Each structure stands twice: as structure tokens, then as C-alpha cells.
Amino acid sequence: MKWMRNCFCLTVALFASMAAISTIAWADGPDTLSQDPNQWVIPLGNYHGTRHSKLSQITVDNAAKLKVAWTMSTGTLRGQEGQPLVVGNMMYFESSYPNFIYAVDLDNIGRMAWKFAPEQDKFAPSVACCDVVNRGLSYADGKILAITLDTHVYALDAKTGQVIWKVQNGDPEQGQTMTMAPLVVHDKVIVGISGGEFGVRGFLTAYDLTTGKMAWRAYSVGSDEDIKFDGAKTIDGATQALVGKDSSVKTWQGDEWKLGGGTTWGWYSYDPTLNLVYYGTGNPGTWNPTQRPGDNKWSTTLIARNPDTGVAAWAYQMTPHDAWDYDGVNESVLTDSAVDGQTVPTLTHFDRNGFAYVLDRRNGKLLRANKFDPSTNWASEVDLKTGRPVLDPAKMTKSDVNVKDICPAAMGAKNHQPVSYDPNTKLFYVASNHICMDYQAFSVKYKGGFPYVGAILNMFPADHGDVRGRLFAFDAVSGETKWVINDMFQDYSGPLTTDGGVLFAGTLDGWFRAVDESSGKVLYKFHAPSGIIGNPMTYMHDGKQYVAVLTGVGGWAAIGLAEGLTKGSEGLGAVGLTHTLSDYTNLGGTLVVFSLE
């Protein structure tokens, strides 16, 4: 059974510049190299995850002159959720399953420098929730770091594509898969795990960049030793108190935590000054909340960890006792924000649950939590003193009850598609979902490698019309929306902003758009061969700015089209939501690169 969600990916990269790839001194790490806007060396653009480029050759005045510069097939027909890297004169990207990895010499487009086709466990696609997607590569010290759906982690020679080392991070037979992009910090390659719908207990793992040897593993739920929480040192961001002993297991009934979910399939960020890695954990298992009384910590949680040891500094749970599948795995964007008259190092997180959280990233203290989708109704607000949502009891799901009109739907007000933050406008640019659901939970028993869901969902547009997606500019501190573009289908492509004042993003039905950041005016659009769920990036080569995006519809948003499903409640309710998508686009996989005439 293949449907829905776990699109695991985050990442960071390290790179070499210059015309040919060569091993770099570690002093020239990702943070330094990502400051060169001519390259795109980290999946989210930089350690802080802003997805903003300083390039400005393409502007509001000339964006209408964009054209397709070149294209390349990915060799696959399933959802393409990642983005290319550009390191020096080389471009690297990874396809959806079977996870082909390509190196393209930008001085000799049309000839692949190398291609790597990993051997995979063919069982893995059968337990891949929400399509067989991949969210990209990382680069470090002359190596391309990649993950495959069947849970292998590879270090490849960036010059040749030869395998330097590989390790297995999970077991598909137990429902474990991998879809995220790795993050490289210091000498550690950090990866997560997918499989929350199969009773997988989530974890984050660090491997040695040189040897592939495991350095540490930290689970999301379980004993203090397993989750690497020190009750006398780790801070509960909601209360600003210490988490205390057994902060996770005491919030579960019996041994339910052993099937507790909290998978780690999203994006990761890093603050070099504080030496903390930030990431979110997924939904608890099962989807039937009646089977797991308690807060179910630390699922649906933002966690800060030391990348060298894995030890947690703080944790903030956004959706205690998650009863709606509101995974907390979306990206954390690190900026400095003016809050209550003070400039604070903040973490901003647009959660599946419809709230945009602004936290002090030093200690996890909640500063703001504003609704970014107006339909959000499962909670009226988030109490800034307690950090807990103020629930609407009528929207609380429970076993054997069909709860109607819950907003947002389980797919979230925003799913994996990362936001962009422009430091010039101090605004976030968000591609989102505008959808609601009916949710009926039921009892389910666990069996390894089989779905452990326990819910039937039906999803529909929030306003019962033809708007399922919104692209908008948002002030996360004030909660003000500056402008909005409404779309027929979910907006599932993470925006890119630039110093030229132009935003780039794709749509589920295949339109690639350049948009004026200040007004939301569409300056240019091109209909791609397939719908777009990948994230645009930009680079400079031979004095010309290029914008590249992977096209290829799929993911949970288009699982009906990807899997050939037709019943509305299939794909955990997503199929009925986009039943007309096939009238507008088809499966495909193509890298499309744009430039000015």
C-alpha cells in the first residue's frame, strides 16, 4: 500500500568551488561556501534554511524575458520533490525511486559527467507512504551524500560517482524508508527515517563523513537514554522549565511509545554560533488518538541538538496528543526578528497544523504563534504562556466517530514544501494548502511492515470551492498576510526569493511562475511537462543567472495520479481532493533550466 506522506528530507551540504571539483579544506565548509551566490551548495540554500539568493540579474523589470535554456529527463515518472545542487561548474541532482543520481558538467551540457544507479531492495516502494519521492543531495569535502528509498546512505566521489562508503540506516521490512536530504555538519552526515504510518519509532542518526561509521542515534520517543534528553539540562520550550526524568515515556500509555512514530522525514537547519541542529518530528502512531492517551512526547515536536553528540538542548511540542496527523517535520528558518522591541535570534516554523511559530532558538521559548491559513479551526489559538493550543472540542477526533470539517486537513496547511525568507523585505513567502477534512478513527493492531494508521479521511477544499492552494507573503511576527495568489490545486513547490525582487515557484498542475515579491503580480509563467512539487534554485554560470527546477507531479498531494488510485478516500483522503488533476497534467520527470534571453 503506497500513499501519503513521509517525505523525509532535509539537508545541508559542503562543497568545493572552482571550475573543477576537488577536495576542499574543511575550513571552507558549507557555511562559508553557501555565501557565494553563484553556487547552490546546501539544499535549502544555506544552514539557516532561508532559500533566498543574492543573485539579482533577473529582476522585476526583465523577468518577462525568461526562456527555457535547457532540459534533461530524470529517467523516472514519479514525484520529484528535491532540488539540484551547483558546486563550481558541476550540477548534481537525484531523481525519485530508483534514485538515479546525475552529475552534469555545466560547460558541456548534453553529456552526463556521470550517473549513479544504486541497487535497491525492491520491497521498499510497497511501504513508501505518499509516493517514492526524494528531496535532494548534499555535498561535503569532495563527496556527494545521498539517501535511497530502501534506507541506504551513500557517500560518492563527486568527480567520478564511485562509492566511497555506504551504510544501511533502516529496514524496509519493518516499514522504514528514507526520502529526506542529508545535512552535513562538521564531520557528521545527519539523516532521519520515514515510516510513521507503519508504527516506526523515529530517530535522527549521525554518520562519520569520512568512514560512514555511526556516531550517534537519537530517538524521538522513549527512554531518556534513547532520546538523548538530560532531564536536568534539557529545556521544555513550552514552559521554559527542565523536561525532567522520563519526559517521553510517562506521556504514553504502557508500551505504546514503542510504536510511537515521531519520524524525522523533513528538513534540518543549523546555527553555527549556537552549534545546534534544528528539526521536527512527525505524528505519533497510530492515527487513532484513543489508543494512545497522553501528550505522546516527543512526537510533533521541534528539537534542538548538538550535532557532535546528539544531546538535546531543548524541545517544544506543537501539537500534544496529535489527533489529526499534524506532523511537525516542516523546515525551521533561522533569522533575527524584532519581537516586543528586542531583536532575538529566532526560529520560524510554518507547521502542518496551520500555525506559524516564532521561537527563541536559544532555548525554544515561544514568542508568537499566528494562524497562516484563515480556515484553521481545530484550535482557536496557541497560548503563549503555556505553549499549548486552545482546542475546539468539536474538532477532537476519537475512535469510531466521524468528525466533520476539520481544518486544515492531515496534509496540512503546509506540507514539505519549504518557505523562503527575504531579508530585504523581512517577509516569508509560503506555498500552502487550503484544505479541510472529515476524519474517522478506528482501532488498529500492529504488525511489522504493515500499515498502522487507524483512520479513514476525506479531504476537500477549505471553502468548498475551487481553491486548494495559496501562495502568499507573510509577516510571521505580526501575522499579517501582505498578498495572496489563489490556486486550483495545492501549492506544493517551495518558493525561491532573490535580490532581484523576483520569487519563483511551481504549481501542482505544471505552471512555473516568476512573481513580483512586492505585489504578487505574475511576471512570467511557463507550463512544464508535468506538475511541479520540486523546489526552484538559482545559480550563476559564465556571467548568466539560471533558475532550475525539477518537474514531475506526485507526492501525497498527487498520489491518486501517481498510483492510479480513483476512490476518494484512498491515499488517506487525498485522491478525492485532486480527482480532476489528470485533466491538467500527467506523470513525468524533467529538469527544466531557465535564463534570460
Indicate which residue of 105, 131, 325, 373 is catalytic.
325
- Whose cell is 468548498? That residue is 464
Residue partners of 349: CB distance under 8 A and separation at least 6 = 280, 302, 318, 328, 330, 331, 332, 333, 356, 357, 359
Which amino acid would we find at residue 8?
A: F
- Decide: residue 498, CB within 10 A, 0-12 exposed, 13-18 middle, 19+ buried: buried
- Alpha carbon 567 to its chain's center: 27
Residue 386 cell numbers, joined: 503555556
Instruction: Please list the residues that pair with 406 across neighbouring strands.
Output: 437
Instruction: Provide the 3-class DSSP secondary structure of residue 468.
Output: coil
Phi and psi at 306, nearest 5°, equal: -75, 120
Reported for 561-568, long-range contacts at CB under 8 A and 24+ positions apart, including other chains, are 561/585, 561/586, 561/587, 562/78, 562/79, 562/131, 562/587, 563/2, 563/3, 563/131, 565/3, 568/458
- Total Cβ atoms within 10 A of residue 73: 15
Spatial separation of the C-alpha atoms in residues 144 and 140, rounded to whole Å: 7
> DSSP 3-state assignment of 198?
helix
> Which residues 6+ apart lie within 8 Å of 147 measured at CB?
99, 134, 153, 154, 169, 178, 179, 180, 181, 182, 191
Q: How many residues would you count in the chain?
A: 597
Under DSSP, is residue 490 helix (H, G, I), strand (E, B) or coil? Answer: coil
Nearest to 240 by CA among 387, 388, 391: 387
Determine whether 582 is exposed, middle or buried from the number of CB atoms within 10 Å of its CB (0-12, 13-18, 19+).
Answer: middle
Verify whether residue 325 is a known catalytic residue: yes
Residue 334 to residue 396: CA distance in whole angstroms: 32
Q: Judge contact between 316 and 359, C-beta under 8 A.
A: yes
SS3 of 248-276: CHHHCCCCHHHHCCCCCCCCCEEECCCCE
In whole angstroms, what is the distance from residue 273 CA to residue 298 CA?
Answer: 25
Active site residues: 325
